[in-house]
């Protein structure tokens, strides 16, 4: 164990080093400061005259049923959270913005810590137990902490020391701020050696095991950098911040906190050459967060943001984006995030943040190498809400970018969102003129599907059809039942609450014709002995989880004519069945082995021919 005298010496060393490091190691960001200044004009104008919010970050300390809180947990947590709040405050100061940092719940000058005793022993909790502990915290603090309307940090006393001196962590450790402006939650681990006073301890070593690392040997100072940095990083997620490795212009400043900076927190104190910093994109988004503006105006208002205009241009490895935002709540900024599809995560996403001018923006992203990337565009709203759209960005070997596909996908996204929100302009977005001008055949096909949702055609009568083929998804049915949702033609079912994508896709290929058929499902058609062959492709629509599976069955006049193998996510099969002489054709799906969870079964291109 570390003696009190050495703790005091480390603390004094830390204070001195930190005083010298603030504002010096990374330096002021002139361009970032100008950007934040412009952003604050928009944000301040929206919140002017509002009373100061009393909302604060609530801190919960979770102890398993068979253990007590770790040593000096109250004092250490006070120092830890004060240090993290200070890190955010210093990050904004580097951009010329004086803020109070993250507001902490305090009473008589001390951090308020809400204690919760778990119902289970420590051995029953793991990294995967976040949903269990969240439910226990919700029940224990009902009427005290509102998990649905506040921002909450849960720290866990799920660390113990083995006989060999090794520390073992079994704690949930992640953040979730999906509704970032109204609520957010993050989980993090506590340890008796976790204390910002020990960030400068570069001599003494420790060994530990946790979810990601079977065995780590490092100095106590570096451990504190990693784990207090982890709290700062996951808290960022709890506030709605995505992963963000910073812009190319910021590479000389160190490591972005929301990229890999959680492993470089206060690195200047323990010998790290690339200490963590708050990036421009992180600061731009966080500037409007209710905990930073201290205003509740629009806190629970849906922004309904979207890109009213969007145009991709460029080439030779350089992408130019021009756009205009709109929504129920004004937007003030936009951020582009780009990371390779080959990467396991988006931790290394390069960002390009801009402030809007009259709702519009332009940005240039240079130096793109031949590869396939994810491109996420976020619009930032003055109440702290964030809206986003995703695109597939491809750069070929000659450095040409798939501009037509990206521009076409935006036309589809715009129309899809308008239909989902019942925007009166939706029909304009799927007009004949828009479809004929669509830059790709795929985007034109998707727009036709969307128009069909707005203006569905009268189902065809298969017994009187004159053509040599007919799509069953456009035909009148005699029976239509699905296991979840409603029978749907040429699109994936959605009721507005559950949106898993509009289009019928298998292995990333979209289909204009098809039937939504979540198992168990049953479609019936009167074919009246008029047709010879039924064909289709079957499978689970893209996005289905591994637990999903289905079996597809074709029956004619009650007799089984075809039964597929059990198909799981990512698998499909081609069907061709002789239906000569059949009066009543039936298409059925069954859950694999009786399981219908996530059975996103679809029949695509279901067709009968003469």
First to last CA, the chain: 84
Question: Apex CA 382: angle with CA 380 and CA 388, to 5°?
Answer: 20
Residue 543 backbone zone (phi > 0: left; psi -120 to 50: alpha; other: beta): left
Q: Are strands 255-256 and 276-277 parallel, antiparallel or unpaired?
A: parallel
Instruction: Say what the pLDDT of residue 136 is.
Output: 98
Q: Are 198 and 10 in contact (CB under 8 A)?
A: yes
Q: What is the pLDDT of residue 287?
A: 97
Cα–Cα distance for residue pair 38/31, rounded to 1 Å: 11
Nearest to 368 by CA among 390, 344, 336, 405: 336
CA atoms within 13 Å, Cβ hemisphere of 470:
21
DSSP, collapsed to helix, strand or coil, labels residue 223 as helix
Q: Is the peptide bond before 279 cis (omega within 30 degrees of 0)?
A: no
Which pLDDT tens digit goes with each residue over 386-436? Answer: 999 999 999 999 999 999 999 999 999 999 988 888 888 999 999 999 999
Residue with tokens 């069907």: 575
- Quote the pLDDT of residue 512: 94
- 44-62 burial: b if 16+ Cβ within 10 Å, else e: eebbeeeeebebbbbbbbb
| Contact assessment for residue 337 and residue 376, using Cβ atoms and an 8 Å cutoff | yes
Tokens of 259: 């990229």
Average model confidence (pLDDT) across the chain: 92
**pLDDT given for residue 499 in this prediction:** 59
Break the chain down into helix, strand, coil percent, rounded to 5.
25, 30, 45
Helix (H, G, I), strand (E, B) or coil at 552: strand
Strand (E) positions, 316-431? Answer: 318-326, 331-340, 350-355, 360-365, 371-381, 386-395
pTM: 0.86
Q: Is the distance from CB of 306 to CB of 292 less than 8 angstroms?
A: no
293-302 pLDDT per residue, tens: 999 999 989 9
Beta bridge partners of 554: 562, 587
In whole angstroms, give the CA distance from residue 9 to residue 17.
12
Query: What does the chain come to in residues?
Result: 610
Round to whole Å and give the CA distance between 218 and 216: 6
| Structural domains in the chain, sorted by start | 4-21+55-291 (3.40.390), 306-453 (2.60.40.10), 469-609 (2.60.120.1060)
Q: Which residue has the tokens 């001390």?
A: 110
H or E stretch covering 469: strand 469-471
Can you tell me the distance from the alpha carbon of 489 to that of 502, in angstroms, rounded to the nearest whole number?
Answer: 11
Q: Got the DSSP string for 282-319?
A: HHHHHTTSHHHHT--TTTT-----EEEEEEEEEETTEE
Tell which residue, 36, 472, 576, has the closest CA to residue 288: 36
Structure tokens at 185: 């939650």
Q: Which residues of the chain have pLDDT under 70?
A: 1-27, 177-179, 496-500
> Which H or E run includes 511?
strand 509-511
b (16+ CB within 10 A) / e for 458-497:
eeeebeebeeeebbbbbbebeebebbbeebbbbbbbbeee
Q: Kind of pairing, strands 350-355 and 331-340?
A: antiparallel
The answer to whether 194 touches 221, Cβ cutoff 8 Å, is no
Instruction: Report how far residue 273's alpha carbon sits from residue 267's, in angstroms, rounded to the nearest whole number.
Output: 7
Strand intervals (E) in 49-112: 57-63, 106-107, 110-111
How would you classify residue 100: left for phi > 0, otherwise alpha for psi between -120 and 50, otherwise beta? alpha
Q: How is residue 410 written in tokens?
A: 């935006």
């Amino acid at each position: 164990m570390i003696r009190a005298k050495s703790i005091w010496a480390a603390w004094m060393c830390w204070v001195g080093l930190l005083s010298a490091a603030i504002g010096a190691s990374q330096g002021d960001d002139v361009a970032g400061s100008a950007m934040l200044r412009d952003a604050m004009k928009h944000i301040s104008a929206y919140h002017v005259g509002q009373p100061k919010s009393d909302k604060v970050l609530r801190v919960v300390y979770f102890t398993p049923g068979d253990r007590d809180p770790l040593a000096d947990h109250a004092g250490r947590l006070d120092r830890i959270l004060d240090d993290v709040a200070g890190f955010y405050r210093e990050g904004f100061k580097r951009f010329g913005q004086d803020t109070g940092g993250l507001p902490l719940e305090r009473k008589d000058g001390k951090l308020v810590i809400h204690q919760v005793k778990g119902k289970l022993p420590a051995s029953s909790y793991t990294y995967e137990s976040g949903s269990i502990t969240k439910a226990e915290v919700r029940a224990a603090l009902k009427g005290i902490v509102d998990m649905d309307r506040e921002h909450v940090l849960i720290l866990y006393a799920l660390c113990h020391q083995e006989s060999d001196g090794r520390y073992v962590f079994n704690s949930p450790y992640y953040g979730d701020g999906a509704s970032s402006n109204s609520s957010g939650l993050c989980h993090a681990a506590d340890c008796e050696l976790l204390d910002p006073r020990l960030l400068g301890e570069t001599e003494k070593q420790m060994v530990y095991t946790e979810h990601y690392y079977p065995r780590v040997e490092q100095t106590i100072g570096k451990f504190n950098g990693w784990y207090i940095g982890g709290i700062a990083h996951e808290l960022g997620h709890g506030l709605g911040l995505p992963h963000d490795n910073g812009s190319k212009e910021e590479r000389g400043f160190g490591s972005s906190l929301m990229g890999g900076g959680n492993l470089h927190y206060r690195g200047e104190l323990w010998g790290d050459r690339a200490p963590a910093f708050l990036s421009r994109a992180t600061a731009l988004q966080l500037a409007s967060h209710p905990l930073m503006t201290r205003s509740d105006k629009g806190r629970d208002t849906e922004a309904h943001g979207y890109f009213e205009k969007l145009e991709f241009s460029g080439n030779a490895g350089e992408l130019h984006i021009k756009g205009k935002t709109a929504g129920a709540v004004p937007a003030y900024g936009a951020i582009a995030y780009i990371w390779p599809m080959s990467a396991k995560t988006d931790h290394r996403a390069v960002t390009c943040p801009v402030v809007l001018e009259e709702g519009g923006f332009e940005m240039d992203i240079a130096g793109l190498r031949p590869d396939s990337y994810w491109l996420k565009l976020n619009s930032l709203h003055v109440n702290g809400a964030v809206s986003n759209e995703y695109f597939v960005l491809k750069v070929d070997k000659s450095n040409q970018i798939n501009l037509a596909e990206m521009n076409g996908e935006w036309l589809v996204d715009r129309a899809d969102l308008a239909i989902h929100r019942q925007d009166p302009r939706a029909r304009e977005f799927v007009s004949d003129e828009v479809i004929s001008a669509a830059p790709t055949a795929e985007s034109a096909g998707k727009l036709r599907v969307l128009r069909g949702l707005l203006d569905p055609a009268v189902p065809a009568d298969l017994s009187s059809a004159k053509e040599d083929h007919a799509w069953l998804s456009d035909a009148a049915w005699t029976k239509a039942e699905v296991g979840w949702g409603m029978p749907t033609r040429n699109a994936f079912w959605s009721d507005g609450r559950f949106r898993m994508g509009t289009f019928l896709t298998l292995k990333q290929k979209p289909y204009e014709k098809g039937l939504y058929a979540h198992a168990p499902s049953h479609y019936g058609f009167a074919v009246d002995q008029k047709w010879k062959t039924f064909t289709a492709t079957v499978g689970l629509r893209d996005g289905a989880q591994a637990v999903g599976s289905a079996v597809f069955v074709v029956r004619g006049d009650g007799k089984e004519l075809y039964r597929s193998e059990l198909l799981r996510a990512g698998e499909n099969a081609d069907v061709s069945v002789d239906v000569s002489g059949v009066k009543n054709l039936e298409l059925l799906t069954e859950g694999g082995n009786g399981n219908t969870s996530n059975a996103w079964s679809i029949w695509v291109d279901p067709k009968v021919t003469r």
